[in-house]
């Protein structure tokens, strides 16, 4: 067999136009030892945390160092505790023979962005059971690497706030039809005297008919006139607010929504570094997806 010194000499002075060299003992044909093999080195693979909303399309975010050689790229998604693959993309095509039944017909990569370093996976019809830990191993001609993604799922809805008047006084009601996990609810108030926290409210969460999400209702008593109130509903998935301006009390009580209700998903990738892209299946996935990594 060839010695190490033979191989080192070959790398320093390789023959031109052939993939063979003569060792002292015999003629050997081989792939040039100086050429890097796919997966030989480590590459940087990064998970992008962004929660999934039940019933919608979600994105398991993952990026890697770009590589224009599509044929050498292998992207595999696995979920801890699940037998079978979540998804495998290899050589420019999906390979789903070993895909777990739980994910069949629900997954797709962003094929036109793979060479740019996007290993993200779209997941249709998000379910609460899709939460968990995912692995995103990627192999290219440059090398290989793996990222872990701790994925959270849930549901949220924007609250509606209105005034209810009765003989016992005036009350604000904040209602949001779908939340999971169970959120916390609090109120803030702003008047000419500045911002303050109003007295403790009464809040209830009732399980909806589908036995997954919760209907959230919160009442705030002892309302004062000429004050803007904000109902805040928040869990580890999202934060949503609804505002109302109380302009009068008792017989003249009225409320004016001063802004549209708003919401914010938590741990959404910074849009200054990513671009908005459409789903590979043809429907909009309102997530920010990676163009490249630093």
- Do 54 and 153 meet the contact criterion of CB atoms below 8 Å apart? yes
Q: pLDDT tens for residues 154-183?
A: 999 999 999 987 776 788 999 999 999 999
Q: What is the mean pLDDT of residues 81-108?
A: 97
What is the average per-residue pLDDT within 219-223?
90
Q: Tell me what percent of the residues of the chain surpass a pLDDT of 70.
A: 70
Q: In what order do the strands lie in the sheet with 132-139?
A: 93-94, 87-90, 74-79, 132-139, 144-151
Residue 117 pLDDT:
96
Unique residue bearing structure tokens 């671009």: 275
Q: DSSP for 76-94?
A: EEEETT-SSBSEEEETTEE
Classified as helix, coil or strand, 280 is coil
157 to each of 97, 134, 180, 197, 255, how far by Cα in Å? 38, 27, 10, 23, 21
Quick one: pLDDT band at residue 201, thresholds 50, 70, 90?
confident
Give Cβ neighbours of residue 49 (< 8 Å, ≥ 6 apart).
61, 149, 150, 151, 152, 267, 269
In the predicted structure, residue 292 carries a pLDDT above the cut 80: no
> pLDDT, tens digit, for every residue of 241-275?
999 998 866 545 455 555 445 667 776 553 323 43
- pLDDT exceeds cutoff 90 at 209: yes
**Per-residue confidence (pLDDT) for residue 254, from 0 to 100:** 54
Report whether pLDDT(54) > 80. yes
Looking at the predicted structure, is the pLDDT value of residue 24 above 70?
no
Domains of the chain: 1-35 (no CATH), 45-154 (2.60.40.10), 160-264 (2.60.40.10)
């Amino acid at each position: 067999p060839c010695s190490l010194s033979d191989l080192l000499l070959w790398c320093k002075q390789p023959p031109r136009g052939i993939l063979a060299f003569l060792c002292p003992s015999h003629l050997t044909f081989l792939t040039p030892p100086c050429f890097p093999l796919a997966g030989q080195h480590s590459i940087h693979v990064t998970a992008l945390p962004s929660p999934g909303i039940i019933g919608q399309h979600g994105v398991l975010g993952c990026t890697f160092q770009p590589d224009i050689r599509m044929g050498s790229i292998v992207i595999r998604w696995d979920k801890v505790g699940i037998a079978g693959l979540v998804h495998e993309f290899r050589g420019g095509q999906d390979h789903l023979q070993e895909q777990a039944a739980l994910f069949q017909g629900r997954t797709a990569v962003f094929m036109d962005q793979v060479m740019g370093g996007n290993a993200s996976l779209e997941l249709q019809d998000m379910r609460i059971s899709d939460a968990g830990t995912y692995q995103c191993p990627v192999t290219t001609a440059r090398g290989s690497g793996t990222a872990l993604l701790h994925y959270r799922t849930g549901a949220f809805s924007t609250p509606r706030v209105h005034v209810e008047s009765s003989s016992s006084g005036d009350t604000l009601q904040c209602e949001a039809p779908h939340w999971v996990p169970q959120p916390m609810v609090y109120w803030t108030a702003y008047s000419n005297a500045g911002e303050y926290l109003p007295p403790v409210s009464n809040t209830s969460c009732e399980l909806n008919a589908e036995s997954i999400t919760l209907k959230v209702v919160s009442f705030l008593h002892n309302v004062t006139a000429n004050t803007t109130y904000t109902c805040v509903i928040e869990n580890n998935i999202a934060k949503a607010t609804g505002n109302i301006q109380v302009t009068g009390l008792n017989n003249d009580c009225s409320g004016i929504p001063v802004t549209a209700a708003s919401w914010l998903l938590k741990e959404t990738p910074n849009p200054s570094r990513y671009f908005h892209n459409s789903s590979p299946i043809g429907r909009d996935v309102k997530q920010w997806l990676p163009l490249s990594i630093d």
